């Protein structure tokens, strides 16, 4: 008669064990990228952070590739070079068109409403427009006064991205500064990203992500990709890309599930990172 009693005594333990094995009682396991900033902690749900997956390296014949953005229908890239060239580039790295710019072009972004391109020019510390649809006419829109008056030189404008409401975000190597500007050059907001995060050293490339209202920043000195919340510029996540020689441009491609990073070394390369958004 003891055996049934033992079975009854063990029944709660068995039920508890079965309950523990039921995976529906637990949230899915998430492996977020490192967020190491001591000054400002993350203000996000870590399970919503994009996960970086495998990468592919693509050779690109754009000499000194310094800027990268998606074209209007997300079928290829626009790219600019330190050597002063605007190129159309396929996802396999093939150059499909060329327009000489004769300026130190460091970043490129596209206005999704009309297809116009905007170029960040270092040295002159200016923003230029190349008008759609023929992309042959180049106009100077404005100079970034702080960078020009401060003689930032080769530590000047490096990144540019279309924001919203006809606003541009422009970034510099110097102090990892970020200006949100109207198309006439009026500065709406100025942010020093170094004051927002102790991890960042410079802005080498920018890409605004309208899906989450995030700003993706690639920093070639720190060897990292950073995501900042545009609402308050809290650091959301960082990804180690120190294996890239000179990461100078970034393009977030949610439609295909990738983040693309341009490497400004000879020969130039484009890194294609799979991302679980």
State the maximum Cα–Cα separation within the chain, in Å, rounded to a whole number. 96
Strand partners, 85: 100
| Residue 228 and residue 196 in contact, taking contact as beta carbons nearer than 8 Å | yes
| Residue 155 and residue 172 in contact, taking contact as beta carbons nearer than 8 Å | yes
Q: What would the pLDDT profile of 250-263 be if each residue is shown by its tens digit? A: 999 999 999 999 99
pLDDT at position 17, please?
A: 42
Q: What would the pLDDT profile of 144-165 be if each residue is shown by its tens digit? A: 999 999 999 999 999 999 999 9
DSSP 32: P
In order, the DSSP letters of 220-252 are TTTTEEEEEETTT--EEEEEE-TTSSSEEEEEE
Q: What is the C-alpha to C-alpha distance for residues 64 and 266, in angstroms, rounded to an integer?
A: 7
Q: What is the C-alpha to C-alpha distance for residues 117 and 80, in angstroms, rounded to an integer?
A: 11
**Matching CATH number, 46-276, of 3.40.50.300, 3.40.50.720, 2.60.40.10, 2.120.10.30:** 2.120.10.30
Reported as type and span, the H/E element at residue 19 is: helix 2-20
Alpha carbon 244 to chain centroid distance?
Answer: 15
Per-10-residue mean pLDDT, the chain, length 277: 42 40 34 46 59 97 95 96 94 94 95 97 97 94 98 97 97 98 98 97 98 97 98 97 97 97 95 96
- Per-domain residue ranges for the chain? 46-276
| Residue 216 and residue 204 in contact, taking contact as beta carbons nearer than 8 Å | no
């Amino acid at each position: 008669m003891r055996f049934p009693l033992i079975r009854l005594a063990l029944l709660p333990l068995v039920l508890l064990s079965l309950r523990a094995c039921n995976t529906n009682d637990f949230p899915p396991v998430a492996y977020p990228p490192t967020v190491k900033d001591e000054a400002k902690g993350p203000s996000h749900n870590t399970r919503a952070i994009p996960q970086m997956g495998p990468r592919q390296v693509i050779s690109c014949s754009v000499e000194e590739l310094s800027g990268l953005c998606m074209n209007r229908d997300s079928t290829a890239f626009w790219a600019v070079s330190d050597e002063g060239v605007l190129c159309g580039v396929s996802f396999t790295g093939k150059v499909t068109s060329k327009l000489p710019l004769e300026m130190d072009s460091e970043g490129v972004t596209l206005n999704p409403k009309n297809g116009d391109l905007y170029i960040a020019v270092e040295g002159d510390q200016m923003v230029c427009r190349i008008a759609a649809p023929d992309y042959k006419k180049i106009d100077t829109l404005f100079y970034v006064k702080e960078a020009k008056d401060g003689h930032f030189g080769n530590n000047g404008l490096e990144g540019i991205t279309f924001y919203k409401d006809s606003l541009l975000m422009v970034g510099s190597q110097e102090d990892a500064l970020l200006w949100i500007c109207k198309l006439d050059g009026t500065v709406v907001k100025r942010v020093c990203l170094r004051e927002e995060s102790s991890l960042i050293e410079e802005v080498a490339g920018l890409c605004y992500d309208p899906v989450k209202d995030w700003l993706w920043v690639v920093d070639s000195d720190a060897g990292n990709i950073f995501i900042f919340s545009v609402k308050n510029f809290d650091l959301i996540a960082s990804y180690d890309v120190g294996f890239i020689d000179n990461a100078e441009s970034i393009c977030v491609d949610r439609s295909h599930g990738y983040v693309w990073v341009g490497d400004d070394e000879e020969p130039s390369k484009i890194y294609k990172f799979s991302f679980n958004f």
